[in-house]
Copies of this chain bind each other. A is one copy, B any other.
Amino acid sequence: MNSPVHKPTSIKDIARIANVSSSTVSRALHNSHLISRRTAERIQSIAKESGYSASAIARGLVTQRTKTIGVVVTSISDPFVSDVVNGIEEYANDHGYSVFLANSNAEPERETKVVQSFSERRVEGIVVTSSRVGALYRPLLSEMRIPIVLVNNQHPGEFVNSVLIDNVKGSADVTNHLIQLGHRRIAYIGDRFGYQSDMERLTGYREALERADLPFTPELVVHGDGKCEGGMIGVEMLLSLPKSPTAIFCYNDMTALGALRQLNLKKISVPGDISVIGFDDLFIASFTQPPLTTVRQPRRLMGRLAMESLLKLISGEDSATTIKVPAELIVRESTAPPREDLQ
């Protein structure tokens, strides 16, 4: 009646019922060829009707393989992160792995605590997404020898495997798209100074200009903050130039959102007067006014690739240390040829 702890049926219980040894039961449940079909089926039916559920922890203890991995994220609320985790979980689950999830909230001490916990749980691998504290993993990694894969890490050291987006190529695609539309004065609103992804996107922008024999104009590059406010301020700065740009490439969609809002406030038509383009293809990008041209990161794919890479590491293969995935330009309605009188 009131049994607070209900002991699940074990392999020994079944052995007793079937009148065999526990090792026979273990083998029968694994369809070992060492057991005759008759007794195997008999044991399996007993197991089924007694509601047997094998203990993964006992198995893990003896096999030394837990079939679990840990993923640590800054915040699962971040839409980018949750999509990546979606891909990781899917791939992991399809390969018999369960995943531990932990938020770090970008706090280093919490991050170490989480990794320590994963270590005690004997996860076979770890994937870290969007963390800025990559260096922190070096001692832990070498000490406990757990394979680690980073995805879109801000400071990917050479010592770990990682999958990351091809920022340079994606950014060049954006710029080329604008150039082909006829734009010649193209601005860039970046993130805060020093972020690797921001620098890479700036690089792509400059390379594309150079290839098209267009001049690089330092005044057309301003810094935002990766958020809405930065986009608004960035636009304000660009509009105060003696000659405004005809197109604005924003570091990410949030920045573009701010840019759109500020342009709307100023009664400047998009894309009639100025074209705007973002990066990330957040859910919101297709619902702005006008729908935003942007660059899509294959987030779920990146998660799957990270997990695939991790499984290779676990099985002992030396997989490629870094995987670079292509970004995809998504053309919507916020970009158009420049007004003729402004060209």
Which residues of A line the B interface, CB within 8 A? 4-8, 51, 53-58, 60-61, 64, 66, 68, 75-77, 79, 82-83, 85-86, 89-90, 93, 98-103, 114, 116-117, 119-122, 143-145, 228, 257, 261, 264, 283-284, 287-289, 300, 316
For the complex formed, measure the closest distance between the CB of A47 and the CB atoms of chain B, giving whole angstroms: 13
Q: Is the CB of A101 within 8 A of B99?
A: yes
Q: Say how far A75's CB is from chain B's closest CB, in angstroms.
A: 7
A145 partner residues in chain B, CB cutoff 8 A = 6
Find out whether the CB atom of A90 lies under 8 angstroms from the CB atom of B61: no
Assess whether B116 is in contact with A53, with CB atoms less than 8 Å apart: yes
For A90, list chain B residues within 8 Å (CB): 103
Residues of chain B contacted by A144 (CB below 8 angstroms):
8, 51, 53
**A98-B86 contact given A5-B64, A284-B283, CB 8 Å threshold:** no
- Given A54-B120, A143-B51, A289-B289, are A86 and B60 also a contact pair (CB < 8 Å)? no
Q: Inside 8 A of A4's CB, which chain B residues have their CB?
A: 316
B58 touches A61 (CB 8 A): yes
- Measured between C-beta atoms, what is the minimum distance from A153 to chain B in Å? 20
Closest beta carbon of chain B to A315's beta carbon, Å:
10
Could you list 25 A-B pairs, sorted by A, with CB under 8 Å? A8-B144, A53-B119, A53-B120, A55-B122, A56-B120, A56-B122, A57-B57, A57-B61, A57-B121, A58-B61, A68-B100, A75-B86, A76-B82, A79-B79, A86-B103, A89-B102, A90-B103, A93-B114, A98-B102, A98-B117, A99-B102, A100-B101, A257-B287, A284-B284, A284-B287
Contact A101 B101, CB 8 Å, known A77-B82, A120-B56, A284-B283: yes
Nearest residue, chain B, Cβ from A315: B4
Q: How far is the CA of A103 from the CA of B83 in the complex (A)?
A: 12
A68 contact set on B, CB distance < 8 A: 100, 121
Measured in the bound complex, the distance between the Cα atoms of B84 and A77 in whole Å is: 9
Instruction: List the B side residues contacting A99 at CB < 8 Å.
Output: 100-102
Contact of A83 among B77, B261, B284 (CB under 8 A): B77
Shortest 7 CB-CB distances between A and B: which pairs?
A: A101-B101, A82-B82, A56-B120, A6-B145, A57-B57, A53-B119, A284-B284
Of all chain B residues, the one with the shortest Cβ separation from A121 is: B56
Q: Which residues of B contact A60 (CB under 8 A)?
A: 57
* Cβ contact within 8 Å between A76 and B66: no
Contacts of A143 in B (CB 8 A): 51
Q: Which residue of B lies closest to A289 (CB)?
A: B289
| Distance in Å: Cβ of A198 to nearest Cβ of chain B | 22
Which residues of B lie under 8 Å from residue A83 when comparing CB positions?
Answer: 77
Complex Cα–Cα for A76 and B58 (A): 30
